[in-house]
Amino acid sequence: AQTVTQSQPEMSVQEAETVTLSCTYDTSESDYYLFWYKQPPSRQMILVIRQEAYKQQNATENRFSVNFQKAAKSFSLKISDSQLGDAAMYFCAYRSASGNTGKLIFGQGTTLQVKP
Amino acid sequence: KAGVTQTPRYLIKTRGQQVTLSCSPISGHRSVSWYQQTPGQGLQFLFEYFSETQRNKGNFPGRFSGRQFSNSRSEMNVSTLELGDSALYLCASRRAGGGISYEQYFGPGTRLTVT
């Protein structure tokens, strides 16, 4: 069974600075997808960034980028130029690439505080 | 395009009662998944439906059930409610397909409180 672990329950960053959220996962599959979701206080889950396991190039979406280390089963999220609106809970998630499933396996989440 | 909608948004029930939650997916999305979110257990997958058929089921007791209608709308039912069922229930929809672009779009959730 696949598992996702986020070892940082809480993180804080100064506005305009950079922060990195950690995520590790365990799987025996070779093809899968990884995601970072953001859940602000409104509770609406928003997809931040996604990564295909067979692509070595790290995904980037504006101020958000990932460091994907397949051998180490690590998938960290870097937020550059942090903004007050980035304050939220962030979830790392895994989805198998087989079976045409939408099932997501989530980590426990990291609460990010952004200080003005 | 309208997003995923869930009704009701808030619900208070008593132990032993049953509850039905509803989810309307984004137009054109045929897959609907349900997740339970609690402070202690985090986000856990309940089940996934596609074309009115349950495709996947998480590790929850039989008190938790669901169904999907021909218009892709989905309902989940919890019978004989327990205090531990208090949670935010999230519904997510996506287009049919297995690639990474077939991402989940989440609804705002239904906050269930069991007293």
Q: Give per-residue pLDDT as tens, B21-32.
A: 999 999 999 999
The answer to whether the Cβ–Cβ distance between B103 and A35 falls below 8 Å is yes
Contact A91 B43 (CB under 8 A): yes
**Structure tokens that stand for B63 in this block:** 């008190």
* Residue type (1 letter), A67: N
The pLDDT of B32-49, averaged and rounded, is: 95
Residues 1-40 of A with CB under 8 A from B: 33, 35, 37
- A104: chain B residues, CB-CB within 8 Å: 33, 35, 43, 45, 92, 104
Neighbours of B87 (CB within 10 A): 22
**8 Å CB contact of B31 and A43:** no
Please judge whether B45 and A91 are an interchain contact, meaning their C-beta atoms are less than 8 angstroms apart.
no
Contact residues, chain B, for A50 at CB < 8 Å: 100, 103
| CA B49 to chain CA mean position, Å | 10
B1 has a pLDDT exceeding 80: no
Average pLDDT over residues B83-99: 90
Q: What is the mean pLDDT of chain B?
A: 94
- A52 in contact with B at a CB cutoff of 8 Å? yes
Strands B110-114 and B10-13: parallel
Give the pLDDT score at B98. 66
Cβ of A43 under 8 Å from any chain B Cβ?
yes
What is the rounded average pLDDT of the residues B60-74? Answer: 96
- The pLDDT assigned to B103 comes to 84
What is the percent of chain B with per-residue pLDDT over 70, rounded to a whole number? 97
B98:A99 CB<8 A? yes
H or E segment to which residue B80 belongs:
none
Q: Is the pLDDT of residue B99 over 80?
A: no
The Cα B78–Cα B69 span in angstroms is 18
φ/ψ of residue A85, rounded to 5: -70, -10
Partner-chain residue, chosen from B44, B96, B106, that has the shortest CB–CB distance to A44: B106
Q: Please, are residues B81 and B17 in contact by the beta-carbon 8 Å criterion? A: yes
In this structure, the strands spanning A10-14 and A110-115 are parallel
pLDDT at B2: 83
Which of residues 64 through 93 in chain A touch B, CB cutoff 8 A? 91
One pLDDT digit (tens) per residue for chain A, 116 residues: 899 999 999 999 999 999 999 999 999 999 999 999 999 988 889 999 999 999 889 999 999 999 999 999 999 999 999 999 999 999 999 999 887 788 999 999 999 999 99
Q: Which residues of B touch A96 (CB under 8 A)?
A: none
CB A22 within 8 A of CB A90: no
| pLDDT, position A15 | 98
Q: What is the pLDDT of residue B33?
A: 96
Residues with Cβ within 8 Å of B113's Cβ and at least 6 positions away in sequence, in order, are B10, B11, B12, B13, B86
Contact A91 B31 (CB under 8 A): no
Which residue of A42, A45, A101 is in closest CB contact with B56? A101
Q: Exposure of B6 by Cβ count < 10 A (0-12 exposed, 13-18 middle, 19+ buried)?
A: buried
